[in-house]
Structure 1
Amino acid sequence: MTTPTAHTSFVLERRFKASAARVFAAWADPAAKQRWNDCHAETGATEFSMDFRPGGFEIYRSQLDDGTPLAVDKVFLDIVANARIVFAYSMAMGGRALSASLVTVEFSDSASGSTLKLTEQLAYLDGHMDIKQRRRGTEEGLERLLLEVEAI
């Protein structure tokens, strides 16, 4: 028997000295994305591939410190260069489905650089709930993105 699905969401905003085009490019380039977006940066990906286009997929696999496999499967739904990325992804750990999410990332230029707004809507499956960890993991990724796009 499964438990009811739990729904939640969060919004994060970040300001960058870099242009929206530069920040967007760090999402679009597979090598750059892998450097800053690794879900568990301390362990690293065991498999990563990305086809950055509407209908394209991103596959991420890693192993947690205890050996438990982590799988993230993503599909890009909408991409507007330098302005918007919409994607859906599912996360599983040890073969158990944890969640499914819809994420919208919006980019806009400002006088001092650019702003990124990320909105994630989550469906937690079968009693799993890690909103604080998920939000913190996303914040850590955005902190690494800042370092990626503002490095000289």
Structure 2
Amino acid sequence: MSGGPEPISAEGLRVAQEELARLRAEREKAAGTLRGEDDAVGDRADEADELRRAAEVARLDDRIAEVEGRLEEAAVAGAPATDVVGVGSTVSLRFADGEEEVVEVSELAEVGERTLVTWDSPLGKALIGCHTGETVAYDTPVGAASATVLSIGGSSTR
């Protein structure tokens, strides 16, 4: 990534917002199990359990802050570029076997979501910085592959 504010695709935004909602709900539930200052802690097992729950709340707080920061950064960055592939770009590709597919380059990927390609995956790394008409080569678990960029955010070469 560029190091500056990065845009986010519509699908990436949806994934981040869903994760944020899930994290906030988990945090609320976990925080509700913590004892108040006036509540006495029982034996060492109770104390260890309390520390584990407090650590979980802290972990959730950290991830919530990270996702909120990413969403704020995306708001500052604005819409993804349409002249060069970057994080947040929607890219139409033609693979070497002739199959065509539209993917979104994202930071986050949802398990099972085929249309999201993370920026740090082999295909994502190959696509970052490419322009319409360029062919990229990348490695897959079954060997080398290639794809041609047909369009970025709607600027097609067809």
TM-score by length of 2: 0.23
Instruction: State the structure with bigger RCO (CA 8 A, min sep 6), 1 or 2.
Output: 1
Q: TM-score, normalised by structure 1?
A: 0.24
- Write 1 or 2 for the structure with the bigger share of helix: 2
More strand by share: 1
